Amino acid sequence: MARSARFLALALATLAGCAPQAGALRGAPAPARLPVTELPPGRQRLDFRWEYRDGDLAARGEGVARLASPDSVRLDLFLDGGLGGGYAIVIGKEIFTPSGDQARRVLPPAPLLWATLGRLAVPAAPDTTARVDGGRLRADIGRDPTWRATFDSTRLTRLERIEGGRVLEWTERGVNGRVRYENTLAQRALTLDVTRTQEASEFDAAIWRH
């Protein structure tokens, strides 16, 4: 057992060494007042293309996100060629995957998933440091893990989870509707390309059952 534990610790240390260094925050010190990044009021539907890579495994298809302010979203992923799919329900900090664990594996953890939708929802922490660099506001929230958030004006564009000084996971939002999540340790990546955004009426209550 002790030998197995040492092997696991060595393997984890090796993987952590592959994660990029986070580096220190750059720029001039700024007040730790972060922009409000809540979901738009009411209901929205987002249609998107998605692509997932996990080592040598790759999958792609169509997807739908149904957002309900302030903190609920249902995500449906459909594989190209009618080969199936899965769905997840996110309410606050909880992710429910009634369609199976594969959907959970594809998706980021809740804080990074919310960041794909432009909402900052990291665990509460007493330590926040902010700096402004070239018009961008960056903030480090908490310690080990540290959540590093980057804002262009009031728009959340990137969120990183940092442990031991290394970036283990991140989400980045482009201006062209592309969102990318990457787990640098597990070598998993999910890319979303939003193709349509529209206001929606009330959703059927059945979509939230988990």
Q: Is residue 20 part of a domain?
A: no
- Residue 131 · residue 25 · CB < 8 Å: yes
| Range from 10-14, 50-54, 160-164, 184-188 carrying the lowest mean pLDDT | 10-14
Q: What is the model's pLDDT at position 200?
A: 92
Distance, in Å, from the CA atom of 209 to the CA atom of 40, rounded to the nearest integer, reads 23
**Residue 158 belongs to domain spanning:** 41-199
Smallest CA-to-CA distance from 63 within 50, 53, 51 is with 50
Q: Is residue 127 part of a domain?
A: yes
Residue 12 has pLDDT above 80, yes or no: no
Q: Is residue 26 part of a domain?
A: no
Q: Is residue 7 part of a domain?
A: no
- Tokens in use for 113? 């998933």
Host H or E run for residue 139: strand 136-141
Q: Between the CA of residue 119 and those of 9, 81, 100, 114, what are the distances in Å? A: 34, 32, 25, 5
Q: Is residue 101 part of a domain?
A: yes
Q: What is the model's pLDDT at position 2?
A: 53
- Residue 115 · residue 156 · CB < 8 Å: yes
Q: Is residue 6 part of a domain?
A: no
Q: What is the CATH classification number for the domain harbouring 129? A: 2.50.20.10
Could you read off the pLDDT of 15-52 as tens digits, one per residue? 445 789 999 998 999 988 899 999 999 999 999 999 99
3-state secondary structure 22-80: CCCCCCEEECCCCCCCCCCCCEEEEEEEEEEEECCEEEEEEEEEEEECCCEEEEEEEEH
Dihedral (C-alpha) 114, 50, 66, 203: value to the nearest 10 degrees? Answer: -160
Split into its structural domains, the chain has a count of 1
How many whole angstroms from its chain centre is CA 105?
13
C-beta atoms surrounding 12 within 10 Å: 11
Could you read off the pLDDT of 101-147 as tens digits, one per residue? 778 889 999 999 999 999 999 998 888 999 999 889 999 999 999 99
Q: Is residue 188 part of a domain?
A: yes
39 Cβ partners below 8 Å, 6+ apart? 67, 68, 69, 70, 71, 117, 118, 119
Q: Is residue 137 part of a domain?
A: yes
